[in-house]
Every structure is written in C-alpha cells, then in structure tokens.
Structure 1
C-alpha cells in the first residue's frame, strides 16, 4: 500500500470515528446516568438523515437544512422520551430493550411509509464538491468537513460537560444519580434534556452521512452496533472515552478493511483474500473490545463513582 492511500484511508477512518462519536456521545450519557438501554438511538440517526434529506430538497440549502434539523430532532427526541420512554426508567433492562426494539420497528415502518422503500439520495453540496490539498494529498472536501464538524462538536460537548452548570449536573448524575435527585435537581428534566441532546447529535450524524451513503429505512441498526462497541471500549457514561474509542474503532475498522485483503494476498489467492479480508476486518473491532474488557473491564476511561 502506498503512503498516499494509507493517509487517505486513515482520514476515512477518522471520518467514521467522528460519526460514531456523534452517535455514542448522547447514548453513553443516557446509559451512564439512567442505566437506560435505548436501542432506538439508531433510529434517531436514520430519522435525522431522512429529515435532513427532505429539508435539503425543500430549501435547496445544506446549511439551512442543518440549522432546521436541530429543532426538529430536539422535538422528536423529547416526544419519544415523553410518550414512550419515561415510564420505563424504573423497569428492568429487558423491558427497556423490548420497548426500544419496538421503536426501531415503528420508525423503520414510518420511514418506508413516508419516504418509500427505495434508498433516498442526498447530493453533496456544490460548494463542497471537489478535493482539498492536505500536505500533498488530495482529499474530498466534504469528507474533510465531516471530520472538522465532528471535532468541533466534540469540543462543544467537552465545553458543555466540563464548563457549564448543566454539564456539572450531567457529570454528577453519571456519578451518583440518587444523590443529585436528593439535592433537589429535577432529574426528569435532566433526562429529557439528555434524550433531546442525544437525538440532535444522532440526527446531525445522519445529516453528515446522508451525502456519502444512501438514506434508507433500517440504516440505523448497523451503526448502532458499532456505537455500542464504542461505548463499551470507552467506558459507559464517559464522553472522553466515547471520543477516543470512536476514533480508535473508526481507524481500526477502515484500515483493517483496506490492509487485510492486501496482506492476505501474500498467502491466499486474490479472490479468497478479497473475501476473507473484509470478514476478518469486521471482526477486529470485536477482538479489540474483548482485549480492552480483559484488561480494563470498565473501559478505557470509565466514570469513577465516589
């Protein structure tokens, strides 16, 4: 593999990593604070992609679609939390899994009814067509914007969690939810805020992913699985862990799919290597998760209870 290809694939891995972080940030806080298993989080990603595609088609402006997507996803997150999830906080995890799995089926059918069963495509904005020069390597401008946007949002999440009163309450809730409630904090409102924030981040990930992949019903489940791996590796409830783990998973998955077929061609026939390489690459992140759990059962950056 040439150095140029390695750099490009590494950047693609970072791009996947920031999308995974946008998914993992809200989900890990919901799970860490409320111990709530929300399998429907991937559906927020899917609905964000569909909303963004529709808004982009209607307004003709990618930037305006992004701005309108924020209140739309916040409203959807609050509605789902209020209608379907609020009564499940004190229930067993199995009840939460079953209920949120039902939401997955519900949103998938809603998407098929409204947007149809065929994939829905978003065009890359005209002002982001072409490529930019990164130290002698030409890289698609839109993919670079995904990386930059994800890093800026990660910085915003850091400032929100570590530099604001709301962030202080979120961190305190992740450490000891019962004590925070006893001190007079409105835990119900905090839960709603977290669901709304998670829905906005997931929806924004869908917006960014829309122009580089087809928008279709069921697109939330594959990325949800990767998001769960990220949360386990990084540490449940840890934003910092979600960020670093997302980048690690994104780079390992992308480089694995690129490098392994080339390496296997040294030992196997080309056709066999091309089949075995991606299959083994898809296993690498789960092997990585197993190694991390064997060494640090609570993840790389766990939230320490006091």
Structure 2
C-alpha cells in the first residue's frame, strides 16, 4: 500500500468513526443518564437522513435556502421531536425494567418505519450534495479525495468539540455529569431532573439526526438504515463505557480504523473484527475504556 492509498483509507476511517461517534454519543448519554435502553435510537439517524431528503425541496422553494438551511431546519424538527417523545413515551420508562424498555422502544422502531413507508414509500432515494462541496481535492497525479467527506469529518469534529465544551465547562454539563453518576442526589440538590432528562434526550435525538443528515448525500436514504448503525453504535457504547462521551469518541475512532483497514487487509473476516475488538477490550476492562460522566 502506497502512502496516498494509506492516506485515503485513514481519512475514510476517521470520517466513519466520527459519524459513528455522533450517533453513539446520544445513545450513551440517554443510556448512561436516563437508564433507558433505547433501541429506537438508530431510527433517529434514519429520520435525519429522510429529513435531509424531504426538507431540501421545501426549504429551497419557500425560503430559497440550500443545504445548510435544510440542516438547520432539520435540527429544529429533530429537537422538537425528541422533546415530544421524551414527554409522551420515554418519561414513563424510567422506573420500568429493561425488558419493558426494550419492548417499548422496539415498538417505536416499527412505528417509525411504517410512518416512513406511508410518507415517502420504500424506494431508495439520493440526496444531492451542495455544489460548493461537490469537488475533490487532488492528492497526487491520479488520486483525489471528495471534499464532502472532509466536510463531514470537519462538522463531526466541530460538534464533538462543542459537546466536550458543554459537558466540561458549563453548568448544564455539570448537571448532566452529576445526573449520570447519582440522579437521586442530583435531584435532592434542587435540580429539575425531569427537564434535564428532556434536554438530554432532545439533544441525543438531534445529534443522531444530524449524523443522518450529513451522511445522506454519501450513503443514500433507504428503508431500515437505522437498524444497521444501531448495532455498531451499541458496540461503541460498550467499548467506550456506558455514559462516557470521551469513551464513545475513542471507541468510535477505534472501530472506524479496525473496520476500514480490516476490509483492506482481511476482507474475509472484516465483518467480525469489530466484535473481536469488543471482546478483547471487555476482557481487559469489563466496564469499558472510561467511566460514566467522563
């Protein structure tokens, strides 16, 4: 493998890992703080992709906006959706056992898939990338790298830095970290834990939907796309440590590199390398790489 091929595969691994991090970050926050096993989290990624597909012509015709405006409208819709879902459904799951949480959230997957089928059908759809990102960066005389993939990595990194700042440098982040460690003590200090839960859940939904929106132009939009990424995101959460944003970031990048380079060097067993990685890490650190709240 020459240097430029290695560079392309490295950039692909980073982009895939950062995209996984966005979805897994919301999942680990919801699970670590609220104690809810949310099987429907992958559906929020799918919803984001379909928002990018469905809102684009509406925003363009009504407001004259383009890709960025569509993403902003999609974020607003996903935040409102997350707040409503927490109020209407998830707020009843906190004191229930995990089996009831699994059944409830699996039922939501079926509802989301049926609503998607009714609204947009079961065809595969494409989302056009903005013209200003449709080009490529020349690496050498032959090889190029798409500008849009670098844009995805940049946006994911920007959001990761923003999440780190909020969680470690703000009062809201302090309350979230406290709630992930001891929710009863946090509530006894006068913090509105119900509002905190809704903020966390709405943020988790918005982050997952944002990942779906930015990934839509390169992965297309198709039925059931949320289920595939949900499984790998649970692996990210388990490796990184439940409730740890730092752990989700490190684990997502690890999986990105193992999956990408595994397909290059060991294509026959590439599908199981990620799970081998999880098994090895859990044998070394059974609770994951980092503790909750880190």
Classify the TM-score, shorter chain: over 0.9
Alignment map for 1:257-268 (pairs within 5 Å): 257-261=263-267
CA distance in 2, matches of 1:231, 1:304: 13
Match for residue 151 of structure 2 among 137, 140, 145: 145
Aligned to 1:298: 287
Q: Does 2:103 match 1:94? A: no
Please report how far the alpha carbon of residue 120 of structure 1 lies from its aligned counterpart in structure 2 after TM superposition: 1.5
CA distance in 1, matches of 2:291, 2:57: 42
CA distance in 2, matches of 1:99, 1:5: 45
Match for residue 184 of structure 1 among 190, 205, 213: 190
Q: What is the root-mean-square deviation of aligned Cα atoms in Å?
A: 1.5
Alignment map for 1:8-23 (pairs within 5 Å): 8-23=8-23
| 1:22-44 deviations in Å (ceiling 9; x for gaps) | 10111101111121100111111
Q: Does 2:105 match 1:105? A: no
Deviates more, 1:122-131 or 1:151-160: 122-131
Aligned to 1:66: 71
Alignment map for 1:96-175 (pairs within 5 Å): 96-133=101-138, 138-175=144-181
Following TM superposition, the consecutive aligned residue runs of length 4 or more in structure 1 with deviations greater than 4 angstroms are 133-137
Structure 2: gaps of 5 or more residues: 61-65
CA distance in 1, matches of 2:230, 2:49: 14
Structure 1: gaps of 5 or more residues: 262-276
Matched-pair contact (CA < 8 Å) for 2:177–2:293? no
Matched-pair contact (CA < 8 Å) for 2:40–2:106? yes
Matched-pair contact (CA < 8 Å) for 2:245–2:293? no
What's the secondary structure of 2:266's corresponding residue?
A: helix
* TM-score using structure 1 length: 0.91
Aligned to 2:258: 252
Matched-pair contact (CA < 8 Å) for 2:178–2:293? no
Is the alpha carbon distance of 1:83 and 1:161 closer, same or farther for their aligned partners in structure 2, counting shifts above 3 Å?
A: same
Please report how far the alpha carbon of residue 57 of structure 1 lies from its aligned counterpart in structure 2 after TM superposition: 2.5
CA distance in 2, matches of 1:105, 1:10: 36
Aligned to 2:275: 286
Please report how far the alpha carbon of residue 301 of structure 1 lies from its aligned counterpart in structure 2 after TM superposition: 1.2
Please report how far the alpha carbon of residue 304 of structure 1 lies from its aligned counterpart in structure 2 after TM superposition: 7.2
Deviates more, 1:128-137 or 1:286-295: 128-137
CA distance in 2, matches of 1:258, 1:141: 22
| Count of residue correspondences | 288
Please report how far the alpha carbon of residue 213 of structure 1 lies from its aligned counterpart in structure 2 after TM superposition: 1.3
Aligned to 2:63: none
Matched-pair contact (CA < 8 Å) for 2:242–2:288? yes
Matched-pair contact (CA < 8 Å) for 2:243–2:293? no
Matched-pair contact (CA < 8 Å) for 2:4–2:139? no
CA distance in 2, matches of 1:223, 1:234: 16
* TM-score using structure 2 length: 0.95
Alignment map for 1:45-84 (pairs within 5 Å): 45-60=45-60, 61-84=66-89
Please report how far the alpha carbon of residue 110 of structure 1 lies from its aligned counterpart in structure 2 after TM superposition: 0.6
Deviates more, 1:128-137 or 1:84-93: 128-137
| 1:40-70 deviations in Å (ceiling 9; x for gaps) | 1111111111111111222341011011111
